[in-house]
Each structure stands twice: as C-alpha cells, then as structure tokens.
Amino acid sequence: MLFNSVIFIAVFLPIALLGWYVLQRLENPAPAKTFLIGMSLWFYGYYNIGYLWILLASLAFNYVVSGLLDRHKGSRGLLTLGILGNLGLLFYFKYFNFFIDNCNFFLHTDIHLEKIALPLGISFFTFQQLSFVVERYKGGAPHYSILDYVFFVSFFPQLIAGPIVLHSELIPQLQERKNRRFSASVFYDGLTLFILGLAKKVLLADTLAVLVNAEYANIHALDAPSAWIVICWYMAELYFDFSGYCDMARGTAGMFGFRLPENFDSPFRAASVREFWRRWHMTLSRFLTRYIYIPLGGNRKGKARQCVNLLAVFLISGLWHGANWTFVLWGLMHGLAVVFETLFPKVRFPKEWMNRLATAVFVTLSFSIFRSDSLSQAALLWRRLFAGGNTGMFLGICNVLQFPENYVLIKLLGTWAPAALNPLFVFCMILLSGLVILFLSGRTAEQWIAEKGGTPAGTFWLGTLFTWSFLSLSQVSVFLYFNF
C-alpha cells in the first residue's frame, strides 16, 4: 500500500488510528499491539500478498535465532547462522538473477532461469533484523516477547523503505506506558510532517519525474544543456521522493505516538562527499558504519586499511541499492571520493560555497549513473553531458511539462495563441527549477513545523498543500526506493 493513495489516507490510516487508540484504553497492551501488527501485515500484503510469506518466514527465522542466543550466549555459530540466513534470503531474491547473468557472460555458460521478483522492502527489513541479531550476539539487546519483536520489524510506517530503525529506538517506546496515551500536540506534529512529506512526493517529486522519465528514455536526442537539466532534476526528484517518504513515515509514526530516527539533514548543504553521507540516508550510513566499517577495523589500523575499509563499505552500499553494475560503479565513485578526502583533507576550495557546489556537482553526476539502466546507457548520457553540443533540445524537453495544473491554460493557448505555448513551457521549467533550489536550500520539514506549523498562516498552507496533494492522487506513482 502506498502512503500517497486514497485507500491509505481515507481508509487504512483512520481505521489503524482509531483501533490503536481505542485498544490502548485496555489495561493489557497486547490487543493494541496485535491489532497494529495485523494492520501492518495488511499494509504490506496489499501490494502483493505473495510477498507476505517471505516477511513472515524472515520474522520467524530471526526470532528463533534470537531465542537460541538467549540459551547459548556468545555463540559464534548462531551469529553466523543468523547472518548467513538473512544474507541468503537477500541474495536469492535480489542478486541471484544478477549472479546468473554474469556467470553466463563471463563464463560463457547458458543457464536459463525465470526472473525472480524482488519482494517489497526486503533490503530494509533484512538489514533491520541483521542489526538485531548482531546486537543479540553482543549482548546489547534482550530477547523480546514475540509481539514486541514482530511489532518492531513490521511496524508499517518504516517497513517498506525505512528509515532503518534499531530495536533500542522503537521497542522501549512501545513498552513505555506513558506513550500509550493520546497527545494532541504529538498527533498534530505527526500529521503536519505527513502532509509536508506528501506534498514533497506528489507535488514535487512526481512533477519532476515527468521530465526525467521521458528524457531518460530519449537520451540519444539530448544535447549538453538538456542533459544537465535532466540529471539535476533527477537528483532533486530522488531527494524529494525519498525524503518525502521518510517524512510521511515519521509523520505517520508520530500520529501513533512513536518517534522514528531522521533520515535526511539538508544533504545539499554538504561541503564534502563524506559530509553528504552524514546527511543523506543517515540510517543506512549508520548501519554500514556500525556493522561493517567498524568491525573491519574502521580507522584504527592505519590510513591504508582505513581506505580499504571505506571502499568496501561504499561498494556494499552500491550493491545494497541494486543488482546492477551501475550501482557498483556508483558506490565505487563515492568510495574513491571519500578515500581522496581522507588522504588529502586540506585539498579544498577557499570558499565554503565552492566546496558545496563541487560536492553537489559530483553527487549529481554520480547519481546520473545510479539512475541509468545499464553502463552503456550511463556512458551515452555522459557523452551527451560533456560532448552533446547545443542543438536547441532545451525547448523539446520543456514541452513535456504538461500537468493537470496547466492543462486548461495549454488548451486555451493551443486554440487562441499557439505561439505562446513555448514561452509557457519555458516559464514552467524556470518556475520548477527555482522552487527546487528554494526547497533544497531552505528549512527542513521539522524546522518549518517548529517555526510555522502552529500559526494560522502555517495551518492555512498545510490545508492547501493537503487538499492539492489529495486531489492529485489520481496520478499515483510508487516511491523510487521501493526498487531497492
């Protein structure tokens, strides 16, 4: 089920909230937990009920491993079993086709295999449970009740695309009795964050996607200026799409009285690639640092080993995002950039804005490969970026900017003043680009809520954004990170 859908906003969410708070009145917390677990399974199975058994099997396996670790504390064998079980599940569904395709290519074999569908959210709930198994082995997590554990993993706001939550961030909130009471202020803040995230997704990301999707399917026709516009718009689309999802996830959790960790902190203000990863997909960076980088030795074994560890982490990050050589190359680029910054920390531009601009350009170029379907498509795109000339394609890409909001105006101009259509599309391009820059450099959603959320003007804008976004749900699109 999608956050940006009528059934979620008008049916699922009201039922879930009503049932949760009514059942919270009972002395026994088990019915409320069971109810919300059931709603979370409905939420997950709604997209494809066939994926539900994979989630349930993963939950059962990890809970059994956790129980065994309670009896056999510090067992390396059980830790290995838990890690291999989780990675094996992820490898089969996410990477097995990739593995077979590369075997056929490099070894000249002819293995035929029906494509294995990627279950929704498998990367997120697998990493979340991996972290729990490791913490159980280290003695940093107790063996929770079955209800608490299943709730921790399946809680629907963060189940499909994060943020990647640690047991210590959610289960204590679930067990704390004071958190079972309804709080109007907490609920309002959660609702406000949800609305802002919905607007990011529906009004910004989906609008930018119109041009990005059209032109990524038409790369051979792009010239240099239009190619640069396309990759910049994709970078903005990805940010508004994923951060919008995370805002909706955190806002929804807030309406139930739970606080989830932040996943974005104004990443385009970063003045280095290392800083970018402290601000972008923060819970993934935390996971990779805590469970891969530090166990490999981190920065404790000299510069050479540190650089190898950094490259390993970023290559794993690339593969985590998808089974394609484009993701491997993308991860390698970021790894090499961070290694360079580690070895030469004083190599910087004299002005901070110059470092921010250089970081933004690098990140945008690298994510153009991330978006490409193949290395050959990425190579073609880069040829257009740096050797595409200027053929006047700018007007061509502007002409795809046709939305419900400008539909009537386009029809009127097409009938009475067709010569004004091109200026209108150029105006739409400039307006959207300006809004992107404004929102990327402005306050975060939570900063805006703290400053404006409770004011009459803030309430008016929230109502306007919600109404506009809800009326635009006829153009529902999935979140980009559902693919990862």
Selected catalytic residue, list 108, 143, 281, 321: 321
Give residue 406's pLDDT: 79
Measured between alpha carbons, how far is 58 from 235 in angstroms, rounded to an integer? 33
Among 69-73, 182-186, 445-449, the minimum mean pLDDT is found in 445-449
Strands (E) across 26-162 are located at none
Nearest to 87 by CA among 291, 310, 290, 328: 291
Task: Return the structure tokens found at 234.
Answer: 């994709």
Confidence of residue 10 (pLDDT cuts 50, 70, 90): very high
Give residue 304's pLDDT: 92
Task: Tell me the per-residue pLDDT of 199-227, one tens digit each, with 9 for 90 and over.
Answer: 999 999 999 999 999 999 999 999 999 99
First-to-last alpha carbon distance for the chain, in angstroms, is 16
108 is catalytic: no
Segment of 107-111, 298-302, 473-477 carrying the highest mean pLDDT: 298-302
How far, CA to CA in Å, does 364 sit from each of 267, 395, 428?
A: 12, 22, 22
Residue 330's Cβ-count burial label (10 Å; 0-12, 13-18, 19+) is: buried
The answer to whether the beta carbons of residues 226 and 397 sit under 8 Å apart is yes
The answer to whether residue 465 scores a pLDDT higher than 80 is yes
DSSP 417: -
Confidence of residue 30 (pLDDT cuts 50, 70, 90): very high
Measured between alpha carbons, how far is 164 from 162 in angstroms, rounded to an integer? 5
- The whole-number average pLDDT for the span 101-120 is 82
The answer to whether the beta carbons of residues 171 and 144 sit under 8 Å apart is yes
Task: Return the structure tokens found at 327.
Answer: 């993701």
Task: Tell me the per-residue pLDDT of 440-459, one tens digit each, with 9 for 90 and over.
Answer: 887 788 888 888 888 888 88
Among 91-100, 311-320, 328-337, 369-378, the minimum mean pLDDT is found in 91-100
How far, CA to CA in Å, does 250 sit from each of 10, 158, 345?
A: 19, 8, 35
The answer to whether residue 475 scores a pLDDT higher than 70 is no
Share of the chain above pLDDT 90, in %: 68
Give residue 484's pLDDT: 65
Residue 136's Cβ-count burial label (10 Å; 0-12, 13-18, 19+) is: buried
Confidence of residue 479 (pLDDT cuts 50, 70, 90): confident
Between CA 478 and CA 483, with CA 482 as vertex, the angle to 5 degrees is 110
* More confident position, 359 or 27: 359
The answer to whether residue 382 scores a pLDDT higher than 70 is yes
The answer to whether the beta carbons of residues 306 and 298 sit under 8 Å apart is yes
Between CA 379 and CA 384, with CA 383 as vertex, the angle to 5 degrees is 120
Confidence of residue 1 (pLDDT cuts 50, 70, 90): confident
The answer to whether the beta carbons of residues 260 and 169 sit under 8 Å apart is yes
The answer to whether residue 480 scores a pLDDT higher than 90 is no
The answer to whether the beta carbons of residues 370 and 332 sit under 8 Å apart is no
E strand or H helix that includes residue 80: helix 76-90
Query: Which residue do the tokens 């091109």 mark?
Result: 422
Measured between alpha carbons, how far is 305 from 375 in angstroms, rounded to an integer? 29
* More confident position, 399 or 62: 62
- The whole-number average pLDDT for the span 80-89 is 95
Confidence of residue 314 (pLDDT cuts 50, 70, 90): very high
Share of the chain above pLDDT 70, in %: 99
How far, CA to CA in Å, does 344 sit from each of 236, 314, 336?
A: 29, 19, 12
Confidence of residue 32 (pLDDT cuts 50, 70, 90): very high
Measured between alpha carbons, how far is 301 from 354 in angstroms, rounded to an integer? 33
Measured between alpha carbons, how far is 305 from 310 in angstroms, rounded to an integer? 9
Asked if residue 163 has a cis previous peptide bond (ω within 30° of 0), the answer is yes
Q: What residues contact 422, with CB distance under 8 A and at least 6 apart? A: 395, 398, 399
Give residue 109's pLDDT: 83
Give residue 215's pLDDT: 93
B/e letters for 346-383, b = 16+ CB within 10 Å, e = fewer, are: eeeeeeeeebbeebbebbbbbbbbbbbeeeebbebbbe
The answer to whether residue 400 scores a pLDDT higher than 90 is no
Give residue 472's pLDDT: 84
Task: Tell me the per-residue pLDDT of 280-300, one tens digit each, with 9 for 90 and over.
Answer: 999 999 999 999 999 999 889
Give residue 476's pLDDT: 62
- The whole-number average pLDDT for the span 68-79 is 92
- The whole-number average pLDDT for the span 355-380 is 96
The answer to whether residue 270 scores a pLDDT higher than 90 is yes
The answer to whether residue 33 scores a pLDDT higher than 90 is yes
Q: Which amino acid is at 3?
A: F
Nearest to 279 by CA among 192, 356, 198: 356
The answer to whether the beta carbons of residues 429 and 421 sit under 8 Å apart is no
Nearest to 241 by CA among 189, 205, 268, 286: 205
The answer to whether residue 390 scores a pLDDT higher than 80 is yes
For 255-275, the DSSP string reads: HTT--PPP--S-GGG-SSHHH
The answer to whether the beta carbons of residues 298 and 309 sit under 8 Å apart is yes
Widest pairwise Cα distance in the chain: 80
* More confident position, 177 or 104: 104
Give residue 412's pLDDT: 84
Give residue 407's pLDDT: 78
The answer to whether residue 273 scores a pLDDT higher than 90 is yes
